[in-house]
């Protein structure tokens, strides 16, 4: 197991959710703005500077999540997925939360990703 990684229990992950939810809502909002600015427009200096400003905001939000110890995983900016490093049944895994879920209730192993999610109580 990696010594520099902060591992979350489900309780710890849920304690961070109020802040994580606010950050993810901002990420989803900015992701939609980036899409609307960039779709169907010919690049001009105004569009380019607006995209750069939005990308800088996104980077700051990603860094804020990472400073909490978790990471953003939804690059389509549609579901707001966040992974929290954890140890489940003695193995490294990720507690997995989606922005429409009230609590962190799922996990997946390092390889399977969102498709391999299991309820935490299933073990």
Q: Is there a domain that residue 67 lies in?
A: yes
| The total number of structural domains that make up the chain | 1
Does 88 have pLDDT greater than 70?
yes
Interatomic CA distance for residues 14 and 68, integer angstroms: 12
Q: Which helix (H) or strand (E) holds 120?
A: none
Average pLDDT over residues 96-101: 96
Interatomic CA distance for residues 49 and 53, integer angstroms: 6
The reported pLDDT for the residue numbered 48 is 81
Q: Is there a domain that residue 21 lies in?
A: yes
Does 118 have pLDDT greater than 90?
yes
pLDDT band at 123 (very low <50, low <70, confident <90, very high): very low
Q: Pick the more confident residue, 13 or 48.
A: 13
Q: Is there a domain that residue 4 lies in?
A: no
Q: Give one DSSP letter per residue of 15-69, joined into a string.
A: HHHHHHHHHHHHHHHHHHHHHHHHTT----HHHHHHHHHHHHHHHHHHHHHHHHT
Q: Is there a domain that residue 25 lies in?
A: yes
61 contact partners, CB below 8 Å, separation of at least 6: 23, 26, 27, 30, 72
The reported pLDDT for the residue numbered 69 is 96
Q: Is there a domain that residue 2 lies in?
A: no
Interatomic CA distance for residues 21 and 1, integer angstroms: 28
Domain interval for residue 87: 10-122
> For 29-54, how does the pLDDT look when each residue is reduced to its tens digit (9 = 90+)?
999 998 888 775 666 767 788 889 99
Does 2 have pLDDT greater than 50?
yes
Q: Is there a domain that residue 3 lies in?
A: no
Altogether, the residues listed in the chain come to a count of 123
Return mean pLDDT, the chain.
90
Interatomic CA distance for residues 113 and 94, integer angstroms: 8
């Amino acid at each position: 197991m990696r010594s520099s990684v902060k591992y979350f229990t489900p309780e710890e992950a849920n304690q961070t959710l109020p802040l994580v939810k606010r950050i993810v809502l901002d990420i989803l909002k900015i992701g939609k703005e980036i899409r609307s600015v960039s779709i169907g427009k010919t690049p001009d200096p105004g569009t380019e500077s607006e995209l750069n400003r939005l990308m800088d905001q996104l980077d700051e939000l990603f860094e804020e999540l990472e400073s909490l110890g978790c990471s953003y995983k939804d690059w389509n900016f549609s579901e707001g997925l966040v992974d929290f490093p954890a140890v489940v049944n003695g193995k490294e895994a990720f507690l997995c939360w989606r922005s429409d879920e009230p609590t962190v209730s799922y996990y997946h192993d390092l390889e399977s990703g969102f498709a391999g999610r299991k309820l935490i109580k299933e073990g």
